[in-house]
Chain A
Amino acid sequence: MKTPLTLEQLGNNFSDLHPAYRQNEALVEAARCLFCFDAPCTRACPTHIDVPRFIRQILHDNPAGAAKTILSENILGGSCARACPTEVLCEGACVDRTLGGPVQIGRLQRYATDYAMNGDLRFFQPGRETGKTVAIVGSGPAGLSCAHELRKMGHAVTLFEARDVAGGLNTLGIAAYKITTEFALSEVELVRQMGAHIRLNSPVDAAKLARLRASYDAVFLGIGLGATAKLNLPGEGAADVWEALDFIFQTHTQPLSECHVGQNVIVIGAGNTAIDVATEAVRLGAANATIAYRRSQEEMSAFAYEYELAQNDGVRFEWSVQPVEFVLRDGKLTAIEFQRTRLGSSGRPANVELVAGSEFTMVCDMAVKALGQMALLELLAGVNGVRFEKGKLVVDPETGSTGASGLFAGGDCISLGAEIVNAVQEGKIAARGIDQYLRRGIVTGSE
């Protein structure tokens, strides 16, 4: 089933959720910033962008300076401006919240980074070549950030990307009305222009990883996560039962008019990805989109502003329900059978029990599982020194180093799924960790 909407409707639905500021709007908003000392917003930002500084630069007609301030700490500052949960980060910590409302830091950050992007401004140069080489597995935010930092330090970098397009989830996994495919690729360009080599269609399996570790001086893993968890229910293998990321990917890899969407879509899960899927389904023309979550609204892990967006789009929510069967007829999905849940006898929120005899069905022609992704454990299965904890690859928080020599990691593979900004920061930390590791091998002399 393809979208029933016209090109114009699709264009409207997928245009900027928050349009870019015009100059006047940006100046009025920038004037609201109090220019705090030891600003809470900077502390709240995982990449510690000097927020008051860039806002004041915008106010004083220096948008190029503002862009440089931002990109110095976060090369994907443009994407973060569009997709960060600013509600709980910089804007959540903003002292103006008690005066007239938080300064719209995200939108101001977009204003500055757009200015730089539109003007093709370049602020960084590769450092003097050190002769050291680093292999980066994965060209998502963590890999790109690590690559950029390493290039500033003068190390040679090659990224190995399994897909035929770079950027990882930044390019493919975020709703287009937050980050367009085009914009995400322009940020990849910023990193490529620093002299980082990006090899597409180059997946890395365990054997290839061993070869990379042997031939490069260090390796960074920005591999993200794998497939969504399986529910192991009857009918789960049907073509109409999708994984969340595949559903979102299609909006970036083909024209919107070619995207598949059902008339009645049910999304299982209530994290931020589930919300993205449900809102995209509505915007692609689904008549009904329902989010079905096995716990209650209080335990929902999606941010409040995302929940609000979904409600405004008309998404319905079914709380405390768990699927038990995907009902098929002639191989096509016609409904999902659910059972209601309640808190387990232990009372702890993680513990959920099915209520006997509470079965009911909800009609649907497309189901999307947004249950979180599983770690890519097989890749690292035989690597000495590497440790996992609850599916997360464990690294030293100061250096990004795994237990294995010369092997570093960052991004979703160490967090089990966090924000772009976290991946960027972990990439930076690992780059510095890699640099220290490499320099232990560099003889200090009269350079």
Chain B
Amino acid sequence: MQTLNLASNTGGIKSPNPFWLASAPPTNSAYQVKRAFEAGWGGAVWKTISHEPIVNVSSRYGAVDYDGRKVMGLNNIELITDRTLDVNLREIREVKREFPDRALVVSLMVETKREVWHDIVKRVEDTGCDGLELNFGCPHGMNERGMGAAVGQVPEYTEQVTVWVREVARTPVLVKLTPNISDIRYVGRAARRGGADGLSLINTLNSIIGVDLDTLAPKPHVAGRGSHGGYCGPAVKPIGLNMVQQIASDPQIGIPVSGIGGIQAWQDAVEYLLLGSSSVQVCTAVMHYGFRIVEHLLSGLEMWMLEKGFRQLSDFVGKSVPAIGDWADLDLGYKIVAEIEQDKCIHCGLCYVACEDGAHQSINRRKMTEDDFAARVGNGGAQRVDFSGGVRYMPGAADGYANIFEINQQTCVGCNLCSLVCPVSGCINMVEQPSDIPRMTWRQYQDKLVKGDVQRIQPPAHV
């Protein structure tokens, strides 16, 4: 078995593997960060420090569960460090001494004043840490005081503070971006102009978890009142992926990214790497399951790299970035239709009702008698036939029939909704078919229309 090289370098900050802890409650103390490093994490960004500790409220977290599964998304109204600067600096120094090979980055947020930033940068770098992360993203509690997202939403402020920091910093500087913005590239470019060595994104999203239907109070609540909070966890991954890709593909940026947002399984981390991240940061999954999850992240990444023939991260970081672009550059002539593998079908009808009510009415339903169904076990019929007390019973059949669902490939538009709702993996597949429409992007189509080189595309058949 070949040895893999999992070392990562994010703007000059090196770590033995790309898995860092994000600046958050899990990186609040030396006790925690040491145990994280013992568990195998490659790096950690210390929970945002400031000259004075803040005071937190209780409760602080809310979660969105999904049909019984816990914490699909998490929301917090916790603030930056509630410990003194001295204690933080002492502990950072201690951890760095004990784990020289791991990346120890410190997140900072202070008043928007040059000398205040200068002071904290010097004091923090004295600890021997490997880099700084400027928190321009906290969406609650700090932005009301002119810090956090108040800076990150305004490109000019982002650039200015980054310049101040760069004036005195001796270690690499990462700027952490907020997603609560219309186009994250503007702030990304501003940070780059200010001299950032790399960008960390995304921070949390403005959100309200919900309302308690008994008390009518918000969730979470502090003595019956609430505030908007920062949303994170598996639910936000697609938003993070999109923004990372936007930054990674922007020619005006061109500096490394540390990807953050909903990473829970190893696949999530690899997706961030493929879309341009040099390292990834995790918070919610650790708050849910503990530091031990890093073993699963490492194991999954390794197995995948071996399977794909990759030896080091640079073999694949950013590899999927160029494939994403404008909608107008997508091929109108690429035709796929759905296909149901009858041997795998369990006859639940979910594809049918989704297509019929919510898409393009292209799935046919016909009744097969129970006897025919029983006769075709494993071959477009019953999955199994059982008897008890002389009574025959089969999953999917009752009242004399079973429903057989088939795609009408003449009218199927290939939207692939059915393939998403089908509970059986590999049962509904999308297959490519020759198309009546020539292979061309929408841009090319507009061009050809003007020149008269192509007929206008007709609407698809509808019921």
Check if A31 sits within 8 Å of B346, measured CB to CB.
no
- From known contacts A34-B423, A37-B349, A87-B388, infer whether A95 and B395 are also in contact, taking CB-CB under 8 Å: yes
Q: Which of B333-357 touch A at CB < 8 Å?
A: 346-350, 352-353
Check if A40 sits within 8 Å of B388, measured CB to CB.
no
Complex Cα distance, B377 from A27, in Å, reads 33
Task: Tell me if B144 counts as interface (CB < 8 A to partner A).
Answer: no
Check if A36 sits within 8 Å of B424, measured CB to CB.
no
- Give every chain A residue within 8 A of B68 (Cβ-Cβ): 27-28, 30-31, 59
Check if B347 sits within 8 Å of A95, measured CB to CB.
yes
Complex Cα distance, B350 from A85, in Å, reads 27
- From known contacts A41-B398, A88-B393, A93-B398, infer whether A99 and B347 are also in contact, taking CB-CB under 8 Å: no
What is the distance, in angstroms, from B293's C-beta to the closest C-beta of chain A?
A: 23
Complex Cα distance, B391 from A92, in Å, reads 10
Indicate the member of A95, A272, A304 with the most B CB atoms within 10 Å: A95
- Give every chain A residue within 8 A of B395 (Cβ-Cβ): 40, 92-98, 102
- Give every chain A residue within 8 A of B424 (Cβ-Cβ): 99
Task: Tell me if A300 counts as interface (CB < 8 A to partner B).
Answer: yes
What is the distance, in angstroms, from B397's C-beta to the closest C-beta of chain A?
A: 6
Task: Tell me if A360 counts as interface (CB < 8 A to partner B).
Answer: no
Check if B349 sits within 8 Å of A38, measured CB to CB.
yes
- Give every chain B residue within 8 A of A212 (Cβ-Cβ): none
Map CB proximity to B onto A276-318 as digits: 1 under 8 Å, 0 otherwise.
Answer: 0000000000000000000000011111111000000000000
Q: Which of B364-420 touch A at CB < 8 Å?
A: 365, 383-384, 386-391, 393-399, 402-403
Indicate the member of B68, B387, B389, B423 with the most A CB atoms within 10 Å: B389
Check if A97 sits within 8 Å of B349, measured CB to CB.
no
Check if B389 sits within 8 Å of A301, measured CB to CB.
yes
- From known contacts A97-B395, A304-B389, infer whether A59 and B67 are also in contact, taking CB-CB under 8 Å: yes
Map CB proximity to A onto B198-223 as digits: 1 under 8 Å, 0 otherwise.
Answer: 00000000000000000000000000
- Give every chain B residue within 8 A of A59 (Cβ-Cβ): 67-68
Task: Tell me if A35 counts as interface (CB < 8 A to partner B).
Answer: yes
Check if B391 sits within 8 Å of A88, measured CB to CB.
yes
Map CB proximity to A onto B139-172 as digits: 1 under 8 Å, 0 otherwise.
Answer: 0000000000000000000000000000000000
Complex Cα distance, B374 from A92, in Å, reads 14
- Give every chain B residue within 8 A of A28 (Cβ-Cβ): 68
Map CB proximity to B onto A32-51 as digits: 1 under 8 Å, 0 otherwise.
Answer: 00111111110110000000
What is the distance, in angstroms, from A323's C-beta to the closest C-beta of chain B?
A: 23
Check if B393 sits within 8 Å of A95, measured CB to CB.
no
Complex Cα distance, B68 from A30, in Å, reads 9
- Give every chain A residue within 8 A of B349 (Cβ-Cβ): 36-39
Check if B352 sits within 8 Å of A37, measured CB to CB.
yes
Check if A95 sits within 8 Å of B398, measured CB to CB.
no
Check if A93 sits within 8 Å of B67, measured CB to CB.
no
- Give every chain B residue within 8 A of A94 (Cβ-Cβ): 395
What is the distance, in angstroms, from B110's C-beta to the closest C-beta of chain A?
A: 45
What is the distance, in angstroms, from A101's C-beta to the closest C-beta of chain B?
A: 10
- A residues near B (Cβ < 8 Å) are 27-28, 30-31, 34-41, 43-44, 59, 85, 87-89, 92-99, 102, 272, 299-306
Q: 10 smallest A-B Cβ distances: which pairs?
A: A37-B349, A92-B393, A31-B68, A44-B398, A43-B399, A43-B398, A304-B388, A97-B395, A37-B353, A303-B389
Q: A27-B68, A38-B365, A97-B395 are in contact. List 11 more A-B contacts (CB 8 A).
A: A31-B69, A38-B349, A40-B347, A85-B391, A87-B393, A93-B395, A93-B397, A95-B395, A102-B395, A301-B390, A303-B389
- B residues near A (Cβ < 8 Å) are 67-69, 346-350, 352-353, 365, 383-384, 386-391, 393-399, 402-403, 423-424
